[in-house]
Amino acid sequence: MASNLKSENDFKGLIDFKSLHEEAKVPQEFIWSSEDLVETSKEELNVPVIDLEAIFNGDDAALAAAAKIVRETCMEHGFFQVTNHGVDQNLIDATYQEFVSLFKLPLDRKLNAMRNPWGYSGAHAARYSASLPWKETFTFQYKHYDQSETQIVDFFTAALGDDHQHAGWVLQKYCEAMKKLTDVILELLAISLDVDRSYYKKFFEDAETMMRCNSYPPCSGIHAGALGTGPHCDPTSVTILFQDQVGGLEAFVDNKWLGIRPQPNNFVINIGDTFKALTNGVYKSCLHRVLANREKDRKTLAFFLCPKGDKIVRAPENILGRQEPTKYPDFTWKQFFEFTQRKHRADPNTLPDFVSWINSNSSF
Ligand SMILES: C=C1C[C@]23C[C@H]1CC[C@H]2[C@]1(C)CCC[C@@](C)(C(=O)O)[C@H]1[C@@H]3C(=O)O
Ligand SMILES: O=C(O)CCC(=O)C(=O)O
Ligand SMILES: [Fe+2]
């Protein structure tokens, strides 16, 4: 690997955020358009908190009340929060610390762990040449139906070496805990939609999920204009986000960018495009973005629930007691994911552009 990465920084994955920060430099490749940088409103998004412990203890009235809140908020913007339910806090802390260490590795070791689309990415600079997100990411798949207890350990040791076997075990346990949490959330979503309460849980029983840690270095650029993550709707189904207390996540609601305040011990849940299609468009897949922070490093753990790749994504016939004509063509998550990786960088318009692409019988 070249000794002086900076001089060979042709933005083909060779991003050295440390030197960019020290030089207080935000290169042109990181500058976003003014429409992407629209000012944040002074207000914050009111993200209702669902106390999962309280509603799943046989109290039907509490469950019905929670389902009503979920229905209203998902029809409006698709963001809600849940209290931690069954996820050991020590496991969350250990997972967070594994990524603190991972992103401190020397750049050449991180670059050696690029397994596009999985593994390490520095600002996605190996994929894009403009509007680069001011972040490093580490992403991998978790196939719940694959009973292999070592699928994540194997990935970590292959990508990062035997000294990351422990990290793999920690992430294996974290993903197993996240999958259990999604089952509870899917039951609540089904009840909120007047669908059989096990419908979505069954649909995702052989889920192929994606786990990503986002690490946002401080951005002290003179003309910052950079974004941690650009405006987008998650193409996935349901996202469970653990965010640290730094903040920066924003949702676009009622034509305003509204901050989503971090709350300790809560997970932020948001509906993605695929689940929007699974509700025949009744629920919103909310546009959101992440601001870079001038002084502080920020990390988030995003668990993206996705169906088994070859499963047909089709909404149940009867939602909220109504039988409406289907608004979406049949598609598979494999098709949609490949569309985001090979054809269309996920943004605010991914789903409608994908539907046009499917309807035109295009191929990659
Ligand atoms: C299916 C996915 C693609 C992205 C990761 C998951 C869900 C969110 C997507 C993403 C974060 C949306 C913004 C653009 C993106 C390129 C990013 O900034 O990381 C997207 C992810 C990706 O394609 O890697
Ligand atoms: O890091 C965050 O706060 C959100 C990141 C996000 O939206 C994503 O990875 O899809
Ligand atoms: Fe997102």
Residue type for 291, please? L
Q: Which DSSP state fits 32?
A: P
114-152 pLDDT per residue, tens: 998 999 999 999 999 999 999 999 999 999 888 788 999
Give the span between the Cα atoms of 60 and 330, in whole angstroms: 35
Distance of CA 52 from the midpoint of ligand 3 (Å) = 23
Test site for ligand 2: of 263, 290, 296, most ligand atoms within 8 A of the Cβ: 290
pLDDT of residue 147: 78
DSSP string computed for 328-360: S--EEHHHHHHIIIII---STTHHHHHHHHHHT
Query: What residue spans define the domains of the chain?
Result: 30-360
pLDDT of residue 9: 56
Cα 364 to Cα 55, 127, 352, 357, distances in angstroms: 45, 17, 17, 10
The answer regarding whether domain 30-360 maps to CATH 1.20.120.330 reads no
pLDDT of residue 8: 52
Residues with CB under 6 Å of ligand 2 are 212, 214, 229, 234, 241, 243, 249, 288, 290, 300, 302
Residues with CB under 6 Å of ligand 1 are 124, 133, 210, 229-230, 232, 234-236, 304, 337, 340, 345-346
Q: Which atom of ligand 2 is nearest to the CA of 214?
A: 1
Catalytically active residues are 298
Distance of CA 71 from the midpoint of ligand 2 (Å) = 23
- 12 φ/ψ angles, rounded to the nearest 5 degrees: -105, 50
Instruction: Please report the ipTM that was assigned to this predicted complex.
Output: 0.99
pLDDT of residue 25: 87
Q: Which atom of ligand 1 is nearest to the CA of 210?
A: 6
Distance of CA 2 from the midpoint of ligand 3 (Å) = 33
Q: Which atom of ligand 1 is nearest to the CA of 239?
A: 7
Buried-state track 80-109, b at ≥16 Cβ within 10 A, e below 16: bbbebbebeeeebebbbebbeebbebebeb
Q: Which ligand ends up closest to the CA of 348?
A: 1
Residues of the chain scoring pLDDT < 50: 1-5, 7
Give the span between the Cα atoms of 302 and 327, in whole angstroms: 28
pLDDT of residue 3: 40
Of the candidates 87, 96, 205, the residue with the CA atom closest to the CA atom of residue 145 = 205
With contact defined as beta carbons under 8 Å apart, do 99 and 213 qualify? yes
Give the span between the Cα atoms of 324 and 152, in whole angstroms: 41
pLDDT of residue 1: 35
